[in-house]
Amino acid sequence: MPIQTIILALLILPWLSAGLVALLPKKVQVHASILLAGLFTYLAFQVGHMPENITSYPWFSLGGKAIVASFWVTKSAQLLLLLVSIVAFFVQIFSKSYLAEDPNIGRYYSYLHLFIGSMTLLVLTDQIYIFYGAWELVGACSYLLISFWHQKEAAIKAAKKAFLLNRIGDIALLFGLVGLSQYFGTSVFSGMHGSAPAMIGIAVILGGIGKSAQFPLMSWLPDAMEGPTPASALIHAATMVAAGVFVGIRVFPFIGEEAHLFMGSIGAISLVSGAFFALFQNDIKKALAYSTISQLGLMWLGMGSSASLFHLYAHGLFKAGLFLTAGSVIHYLHHQKATHHADAQSLHNMGGLRKQLPLSFIAYLIFGAGMLGIPFTSGFYSKENIAGFLWDSAQHSAYANYYYVLLGALALGMGLTATYMCRQIYLIFLGQNRGGHSLEKSHNEWLQVIPISLLILLSLFCWISMNPMDAHHSVFLAFFHIENYHIPGFWLGITAGSWIVGLGITYLTRRWVPAKNYQFLGFIWPSAYRLAWYIGQQMQRFDARIVDRIVVKFTELQVVIAHLSAWTDRHLVDGSVRLIASTSRALGARLQTWQSAQLHRYWFWVFFTLVFILIYLLY
């Protein structure tokens, strides 16, 4: 197939799939959907080893300028496309078992395809308008998936919150993108070369904050965990939230160092605070959400360079794996008699699950190792690469010290990451069950085991490089144009130190489970919401009591004036006329007695003349 056909098919297929899945009879919906997702993955692999190219179609013209719908297959787009298609495919398989009893499973699969379609558009497009459009569309798909169980109050609130907090960022992105197109005089990314003013770059980066749940707009992501877990794995762990990183990658070559450092700083804050708050969650999904915030912060720390891209890919695979594994733990607890009515996501009902769920335990260990960046996982390379990028940038930059501060934040974040990850593994799988539940051994759900096992395989080192400690000469990195940054040997010591710190703290605090889910910056949303509501109420009061009242009073004034003038007319104007008339009639009667009848007509004319003079004078 020619390149254009494949790209077009890839762009259109998910939308058709979404419609088809929604309309098909219930029996075949899920199978058809998985089949279509498989076809999509096949196409994505076709695109995956294409040469870079741009395909454009005429779209519309505006003010004499032709706006084309153009699609740019870049290395970063290809890698993301692979990630999206692989994770989406696995999630679809996993969901068949996870949501088997849900009557609306067809709608769920339809939403998944909508999401895949929007994400493909986002990744492939070259045109800023389509980029912004796809950016909003993935947010809308996220809304639909979070509120999938729309009878759950918490779910629909979380969905709304996610959409609105995202939109705050979107507005900044809108102006950032328009600023870019204004500055470079083109509306396609591929036509932008040079260096844009820092403000424009920062606006674009601000735009990514909402989508990537970075500081300070992070609080929607933990709430979004109300959605089905496999969907969370796809959009709130691996792909959609990474869109914020992707926009950084797209604009990396032309936004200038200040904007890069701004992105890195936001990332550093999110890395540390996200990892810190992951320690204080007793809901395993919420802990993973904070972990995602933190890991996205790590990608932001890469400032949109190829180091960011690398970690985006590696993290996408093992985080999706973690979520699916957590999902299978939740699924298992939910279907146990002892814990059916207990909170299946709470750490209070877990502990010692290694006996019942040995496979999940192993999976969690390996994915966790990826999070920690332990050798033999892809996470090791990607994490070291970000440190290498920071070190490398510091060597030839006027802001060298700033880069070292960011490196310090990275070290701190790694220590915290190791801590929460080890603690989570301990609290779920080791020790004894804290709820005192007697649980049966699980019978493996193959539709859950297979995707998780494949994700484990993909998270290992061998795809990147055969040398577990060093990714030089990596075919993978070379193909995707990912630079392998060199980091001095001492950094490995810091990395190892972070593992020891993590294990040590875990051992010391192993008996402590957080009493509740603590929120970071949780107050922002309720107060913003309340403020908007309050202003709305006040404005409405103003509208009804002042603006409308003025108009009504003004109209009423007219009525009063009308009555006044009617009164004047009746009593003064007409009255004086009547006075004159009656006087003249009396006079006339007197005169008539001694004058001819002709005089009567004469007086009639006098009377009229007087009336006209009066009217003339009064008006």
Partner 1 sequence: MGNLSYIILLPLIASLVVGFGKLGASYARLIAIVVAGIQLLILAKIALVFDPAQAGFQSTESFDWIHLNLGSLGHFVSHYSLGVDGLSIGLILLTGLVSFVALWNSQDIHEKIEGYYALVLLLNASLMGCFLARDMFLFYVFFEFMLLPMYFLIGIWGGPRRNYASLKFFIYTLVGSLFILIVMLGIALAYMDPYETALSLQKLGINQGFGIEALQSMQTALAAHEIAPNQIVHSFDLQVLSDPKNCQPNNLFSPQSGFLLGGLSGRAWGFWLLFIGFAIKLPLVPLHTWLPDAHVEAPTPISVLLAGVLLKIGAYGWLRMAIPFFPTEAVDAASIMAGLGVLSIIYGAYNALAMTDLKKLVAYSSVSHMGFVLVGIASFTPEGWQGAIFQLLSHGILSSLLFLMVGVLYSRTGNRQIDNFSGLASKMPWFTVVSGIAIFASLGLPGFSGFIGEFFSLMGAFTSTHLTPIYAILGGLGILLGAGYLLWTFQKIYLGNYFVRESTWELPDLTLLEKFSLFGLGILSIIFGIFPGIIFELSEIFVTNSLNLIFH
Question: Which residues in this chain contact partner 1 in the complex, by CB under 8 A?
Answer: 59-64, 129, 132-134, 136-137, 140, 143, 147, 150-151, 153, 156-157, 159-160, 163-164, 167-168, 171, 174-175, 178-179, 182, 532-533, 535-537, 539-540, 543, 547-548, 551, 555
- Contact of 157 with 149, CB cutoff 8 Å: no
Q: Which is nearer to partner 1, 132 or 220 (CB)?
A: 132
- Least Å distance between CB 200 and partner 1? 11
DSSP state of 173: H
- Least Å distance between CB 393 and partner 1? 32
Q: Which is nearer to partner 1, 60 or 602 (CB)?
A: 60
Q: Which is nearer to partner 1, 50 or 535 (CB)?
A: 535
Q: Which is nearer to partner 1, 67 or 591 (CB)?
A: 67
- Contact of 128 with 177, CB cutoff 8 Å: yes
Q: Which is nearer to partner 1, 128 or 428 (CB)?
A: 128
- Least Å distance between CB 239 and partner 1? 18
- Least Å distance between CB 175 and partner 1? 6
Q: Which is nearer to partner 1, 313 or 525 (CB)?
A: 525
- Least Å distance between CB 191 and partner 1? 17
- Least Å distance between CB 58 and partner 1? 8
Q: Which residues of 266-297 are buried (b: 16+ CB within 10 A; e: fewer)?
A: bbbbbbbbbbbbbbbbbbbbbbbbbbbbbbbb
**Measured distance CA(384)–CA(93) in Å, rounded:** 33
C-alpha pair distances (Å), 529 with each of 165, 334, 522, 534: 10, 34, 12, 9
**Identity of the amino acid at 346:** S
- Least Å distance between CB 301 and partner 1? 28
Task: Please provide the DSSP assignment of 94-139 as one string.
Answer: HHHHHTTT-TTHHHHHHHHHHHHHHHHHHHHB-BHHHHHHHHHHHH
Euclidean distance between the first and the last CA atom of the chain, given in angstroms as a whole number:
89
Q: Which is nearer to partner 1, 164 or 240 (CB)?
A: 164
Among 292, 290, 287, 275, smallest CA distance to 237 is for 292
- Contact of 496 with 380, CB cutoff 8 Å: no
- Least Å distance between CB 198 and partner 1? 16
- Least Å distance between CB 128 and partner 1? 10
C-alpha pair distances (Å), 458 with each of 83, 314, 329, 451, 452: 11, 9, 21, 11, 10
Tokens found for residue 350: 């877990």
**Measured distance CA(361)–CA(377) in Å, rounded:** 17
Q: Which is nearer to partner 1, 500 or 539 (CB)?
A: 539
Q: Which is nearer to partner 1, 540 or 583 (CB)?
A: 540
**Measured distance CA(248)–CA(299) in Å, rounded:** 10
- Contact of 573 with 615, CB cutoff 8 Å: yes
